[in-house]
Amino acid sequence: MSDTENKDDVVTQPNELDMLKERAKIMGIAHSGNIGVDALRAKINAKLTGSEEVVEQEKTAQENGNEDKPVSPTPSSEQARVQDSEPAPAPKTEETVLNPLVGDVAGEKPYEELTEREKIRRDALKLVRCRITNMDPKKADLPGEVLTIANRYIGTVKKFVPYGEVTDDGYHIPNCIYEELESRRFQNIRIIKDRKTGNKTVSATWAKEFAIEVLPPLTPEELAQLATAQIAAGSIDSAA
């Protein structure tokens, strides 16, 4: 094979500066022909972030003949004032870490820093420890049922909820399922007999389907005992 054929097979890869220049051309960013990689990258980042301050500093650098020197954005005096005036987040207490109902969950952002969507999701998924009693006689033989809650904020939450003695020591359910149980009603139909006439009448009223007692959160000692019991029962991995 000849040297000419070998040269034809070589594909020249564009370097970073060439790619940045092509990107700048597409974005309509003007620059000199001998601009450096750092300066061109700064121009592109300024265009993407809409930072007028960076653009202004780039213009100044060009006028002073320092185009190849990268310029980093600095916070404005207004931004600095706002940052200095923001109060520091409150330290997490033991109660806050252990009880998702009263504050932030350990390892997550403070509630005040969440977006509205994140607040809705956290409020819906926080756990409620409760005792659940089924009041509907038609479901007297059911040990429990699977409930599903779904919307665009929390996605789909699906959980089996037991009734009765199983929940005597407290059973944790997401807040969105707790609210669903609280809102449920069933038609309670009774036959009432008049003692004087002996006539029977049918009475239909709406009654709460569940009696729910919200229990206090577990203490650190109770959490440790629960973890030990779950490890002994094989429901969780002891190495976790």
DSSP string computed for 156-185: EEEEEEE-GGGGTT-EEEEHHHHHHHHH-E
Structure confidence at residue 63 (pLDDT)? 55
How far, in Å, are 3, 13, 14, 15, 155 from residue 7 at the CA level?
Answer: 6, 14, 17, 19, 57
End-to-end CA distance of the chain: 63
Structure confidence at residue 240 (pLDDT)? 42
pLDDT digits (tens, 9 = 90+) for 104-155: 444 568 888 889 989 999 999 999 999 999 999 999 889 999 999 999 889 9
Query: What is the overall mean pLDDT for the chain?
Result: 74
DSSP assigned state of 13: P
Least confident segment among 31-35, 91-95, 151-155: 91-95
Structure confidence at residue 231 (pLDDT)? 78
The helices-and-strands tally (H runs, E runs) of the chain is 9, 7
In the predicted model, what is the mean pLDDT of residues 99-106?
42
* Nearest C-alpha neighbor of 160 from the set 177, 136, 141, 176: 177
pLDDT digits (tens, 9 = 90+) for 168-186: 989 999 999 999 999 999 9
In the predicted model, what is the mean pLDDT of residues 49-78?
50
Least confident segment among 7-16, 94-103, 108-117, 222-231: 94-103
Structure confidence at residue 102 (pLDDT)? 38
Q: Which position has the higher pLDDT, 105 or 230? A: 230
Q: Is the pTM of this model over 0.75?
A: no
